[in-house]
Amino acid sequence: MHVRKRLDANQAAAYKCGMEKPSTNASAPLDSEACYRALSARDTRFDGVFFTGVKSTGIYCRPVCTVKTPRASSCTFFPNAALAEAAGYRPCLRCRPELAPYALQQNLAYAVWQRIAAGALNGGDLEGLAAQVGLSSRQLRRVLLQHFGVTPVELAQTQRLLFAKKLLQETDLPMTELAFAAGFGSLRRFNALFDQRYGMAPTAVRRQAKKEAKSGDALVLRLAYRPPFDWGEMLRYLAGRAIPGVEAVLADEAAYARSVRIGDAEGWLRVRHLGAKMQLELEVAPQLAPHLMFLLSQVRTQFDLDANPAAIDAHLMHDPLLAAQLKIASGLRVPGTFSVFELAVRAVLGQQVSVAGATTLSGRLVQRFGAAFGTPIAAVTHHFPLAEVLAAASCADIAHIGLPASRAGTIVNLAQFAAAGGMNLNPACNLQQAVEQLKSVRGIGEWTAQYIALRALRFPDAFPAGDLGLQKAAADTTAPNGRLTEKQLLARAADWSPWRGYAALLLWNSLSNKVTA
């Protein structure tokens, strides 16, 4: 049954600004009146959806900026930071546009944007990025121009400069290290572009910065989100599935920690919640400084920081079952993972066993095949096994941790698939294509593929309808055996699209906080 949406004034404004129903062309003019109302209200739902350029100051801000609201005639609105900078505006030092959560859509242009934000063009290899996408560099340039109004190089430059500004304001990294961490080929190039674009030297930004206290030599950075955010539920979910030795939920700190290996660099990270600031605090080992752009992108994805709760809740609230859960679980996110391969292996280990059983098996796998690594966090002692290591292992060796031979074989098949690049999906790949690609691995069926697509590949409409917990949670008292069939659940979930993944989290959460997947 399709339910017609009723919009209040704020929701209607959200549509006009592109918050809930984004335009296919993100560089198209925004509704200035609707944006100004959101700006005047400092509405957090619009953070990252648009930026305000103030003509009288030459500065652009987030809609949540605490400075005095400028006159409407002084404001120009932009759907992304790159367009604001291309128009000659420089970022606000108070609200810091680089902190804004992204307003991403599920399409090719935004998928490419995510890769650029993670540093895909820091080596200047536009042809390489285009090849990953399956386009020519000319076609890629046209796609980004159409959606964002800027070229790939302009988009990458804005991301580098904003990231450098973030590091200037939040860390004490030496300038040379900072320039390289932000993707610049030289300190000279960084200084010249920063001065050209922002009209000031990087040292001037650093002198004005008020940095957070840090632990020892660790780097401390902040990541913003759109409220609400149910941090307690996020930690509860992750705690039940944390891989022993690799990751841990630290109950006394209300924090998440894990080991990190990026190329030859090894380190660790810890994440805490700063509820009053609507941010997460990320503590990172200094050895990981050269990889900060990629690392922060992974953490944003893992904790679903770019989700738009207002848009998701407005859609799911029309189902009475989900509406009841939304009232007690506001701000629920889909917990992700730092490593796609790691989550995929964990999903295979969870086939036909309890969550606790899968956690035990994952710990044994780490002890047998993982690499020991010392961290200041007592519970984090190892790196997860590399795909190449498990791909070269025998089924008998893997089965020794307590697995049936068939499931051990699935892990070997999955590791070989990942080592050959099978997990590196084309940005243009849709959910069904991703699921089919995963199911090409012998031993991975629909449930496992949908679960990996939901938590690791970040498809918000992924939905493991074969899950027994979901079938029970969605059933009413008249359902035979107390649950729906997979076919019945898929039919029920049709109206939840394109947010079926969030509906799944709400249903799992409804089972009296029992872990079921």
Residue numbers annotated as active site? 61, 467
**N-to-C CA span, the chain:** 28
Separation between Cα atoms, residue 413 and residue 443, nearest integer Å: 8
Q: Which DSSP category does 499 fall into? A: -
Distance from C-alpha of 134 to C-alpha of 141, rounded to nearest angstrom: 13
Angle between the N-to-C axes of helices 431-439 and 446-455, in degrees from 0 to 180, rounded to the nearest 10? 130
Residue 20 corresponds to which tokens in the numbers above? 């809930």
Q: What residue spans of 78-215 are helical by DSSP H? A: 81-86, 108-117, 126-133, 137-148, 152-170, 175-181, 187-198, 202-208
At 272 the three-state DSSP class reads strand
Place of tokens 């932009």: 78
Q: What tokens does 13 get?
A: 């404004």
Q: How many Å apart are CA 80 and CA 157, to the nearest integer? A: 13
Q: Pull the structure tokens for residue 425.
A: 């999906």
Burial class (CB within 10 angstroms; exposed 0-12, middle 13-18, buried 19+) of 395: middle
Distance separating alpha carbons of residues 117 and 155, to the nearest angstrom: 9
Sign of the C-alpha dihedral, residues 395, 399, 401, 404?
A: positive
Check: CB of residue 446 under 8 Å from CB of residue 439. Answer: yes
Side-chain half-sphere exposure of 245, counting CA atoms within 13 A: 20
192 — phi, psi (to 5°)?
-65, -45
Sign of the alpha-carbon torsion through 359, 361, 362, 366: positive
How far apart are alpha carbons 138 and 127 in whole angstroms?
Answer: 9
The answer to whether residues 349 and 362 touch, using CB atoms and an 8 Å cutoff, is yes
Distance CA 311, CA 317 (A): 10
Before 498, cis peptide (omega within 30)?
yes
Helix, strand, coil percent values for the chain (each to nearest 5): 50, 10, 40
Which residues have a Cβ under 8 Å from the Cβ of 348 and sit 6 or more positions away?
407, 410, 411, 414, 443, 444, 448
| Spatial separation of the C-alpha atoms in residues 466 and 473, rounded to whole Å | 12
- Packed helices 309-316 and 320-328: angle between N→C axes, nearest 10 degrees: 140
